Amino acid sequence: MKNLNKEDYKICIVGLGYVGLPLAARFSLKGFDVSGFDIKKERINQLVNKIDINNDISDANLETLVKNSKLTSNIDEIKKSNIFIITVPTPINEDKTPDLEPLIASSKLVGSIIKKGSIIIYESTVYPGVTDEICTSILEEKSNLIFNKDFSTGYSPERIVPGDKVNTIEKIKKVVSASNEETLKIISFIYSSIIDAGIHIAPTIRVAEAAKVTENIQRDVNIALINEMHQLYTAIGINTNEVIEAASSKWNFMKLTPGMVGGHCISIDPYYLMHKSEMSGYVPNIMRASRKINDDMSNWVVEQFLEFSKRKKIDIHNMEITFFGYSFKENCSDTRNTKVRDLISLLNEMNLEIGLWDPIVDQNDMNDLKQSGIKVYSNPPTEIELVFLCVEHDEIHDFLTNFKGLVFDYKNIDFH
């Protein structure tokens, strides 16, 4: 095989969201010929004007990307690419089954323009077998090319953590895999060029797919255990955080804290592997039980809030309950699958007066709440008496330092 050079590869990132944008910026920063494609014209217009509402990359990196790369919603402008990296969402349907429509649609789009020698790499989280059994057949059908002769595929699961400014893309080891050895060398080369932490070569695409869902399911299971303990310790009057601090004095204790599991990964990915598991005839008991505990956490939190109100003699029918934090995790603006929505809905059904303040979430992401009668604050609220603390962003933490009213913190329940 000839020596590999950056100049030989024209990379197109398909999907410029939380995963695709940092990836495109990193490739651009390292001197690759990069195009970024997204079907949302509004997203492209924002990025071209150096606006990233997700705040995923630095202003300097965004400026470099816009200057050196082509960002577009026009499929004709990415036809010269020979490497396509697909980073579209993989959500679930209402019945909790995998929704592969974004992945299928992007495979059809890319399949319609690839040519001989093209490599298509998937980063979206899926269950083992999706790339080989679903995506590849679509690529063959749309391109009229022969798999592993005219084009090839790879899988390199995304490991980006939204809101994490420390463990950024280049610092996280990348798992790579490919449909043949020659393609694996190319994929290894391009990712090694941008990932300082290095790469891990998985023996097959199916192993790489399984590794990704395994990472998130392990975390889901462990959080479910902590949540179950939190419910138990609360029932017997013990502060869970104090228990965790004591237990974590041992070196091999995995320190996690209770919380509602939302977002686009940990609360979604287990359903992908459970779906595949059930297809194979195996019943994944621990995964199912963990998902139920975490999915039901919002009901328990509301019950605790009502108990807290009685204990503190708070007349919740005659004052505003102001929620603090709306995103799915601290210091992150991502509201996808946020469980705070569930809490607000449950209390809204009781005809209570509800307010909401999140200093880092885009106001447009809360428009539906405004329409349902929720008072959404754009600035720190001053005339409030009761805070329902959900997501303690740094700015929220600073505000509460001087707050004189009552605070219900479901992660750290006060028994006094």
How many Cα neighbours within 13 Å face the side chain of 333? 17
Which residues are known to be catalytic? 265
Q: What is the 3-state secondary structure (H, E, C) of the chain?
A: CCCCCHHHCEEEEECCCCCHHHHHHHHHHCCCEEEEECCCHHHHHHHHCCCCCCCCCCHHHHHHHHHHCEEECCHHHHCCCCEEEECCCCCECCCCCECCHHHHHHHHHHHCCCCCCEEEEECCCCCCCHHHHHHHHHHHHHHCCCECCCEEEEECCCCCCCCCCCCCHHHCCEEEEECCHHHHHHHHHHHHCCCCCCEEECCCHHHHHHHHHHHHHHHHHHHHHHHHHHHHHHHCCCCHHHHHHHHCCCCCCCCCCCCCCCCCCCCCHHHHHHHHHHHHCCCCHHHHHHHHHHHCHHHHHHHHHHHHHHHCCCCHHHCCEEEECCCCCCCCCCCCCCCHHHHHHHHHCCCCCEEEECCCCCHHHHHHHHHCCCEEECCCCCCCCEEEECCCCHHHHHHHHCCCCEEEECCCCCCC
Are the CB atoms for 363 and 371 separated by under 8 Å?
Answer: no
What is the identity of the amino acid at 289?
A: A
List of residues 6+ apart from 293 with CB closer than 8 A: 224, 227, 228
Q: At what angle do helices 297-311 and 340-348 cross, to 10 degrees?
A: 60
- At 262, list the tokens: 């939302």
Residue 147 CA to its chain's centroid (Å):
31
